[in-house]
Structure 1
Amino acid sequence: MDENIDRTLDATGLNCPMPLLKTKQALAEMNSGERLHVMATDPGSWRDLDSFVALSGHAFASREERDGLFHYVLIKG
C-alpha cells in the first residue's frame, strides 16, 4: 500500500452508491495532487470508482481487493 497518503476514508459497511458519494465529498475537500485512501466492502465500488475516475480527471495510484476489502488510492486531479 502507498505510504504517501494524505487522507483515509473508511467506507466499509456502506452500500452503493455511498462509497462513491463519500469519495467525491472527500476529494472535494482536498488539494490537487493529494492522495486519498478509500477502504470499502461493497463490490460495486470497484465499478463505480473505475467509472468515476475515468470521467473525473482524478487518477488511481493503486487499487486492490484483499479478503473482501477493497483498497483504492486516488490522486486528486
Structure 2
Amino acid sequence: MPENWMLPRIFPIGGILFDFLFVLIAIPIEAYLLHYRLKFDKKTSTFYAISINLFSSVIGWFIFFVSEPMLPIQMRAELIN
C-alpha cells in the first residue's frame, strides 16, 4: 500500500461492526418514538431516524479518525487494546 494514503494502520473492524449493529437497533426504536410522540407518518419518521443516526455515526467516526493520530502513544496503545 502506498505510504501517502491517509488510511489508519489498524482499522477498527470490531468498533465499526458494533456501531453498525447499534444503529440497526436504534433506527426502529427512534422511528417508533418519532411516529408515536411527534405524530409523523411512518415513512417520515423512518427517514428522520435513519438520517439522524447515520449523520451522528459519520461525524463520530470522522472525529475518531482525525483525533486518533494526535493522541499520545500511551493513549493510542490503550485505544487499540
Report the TM-score, using the length of structure 2 for normalisation: 0.28
Larger radius of gyration: 2
Q: By percentage of residues, which structure has more strand?
A: 1
Q: By percentage of residues, which structure has more helix?
A: 2
Q: Pick 1 or 2: higher relative contact order, CA cutoff 8 A, min separation 6.
A: 1
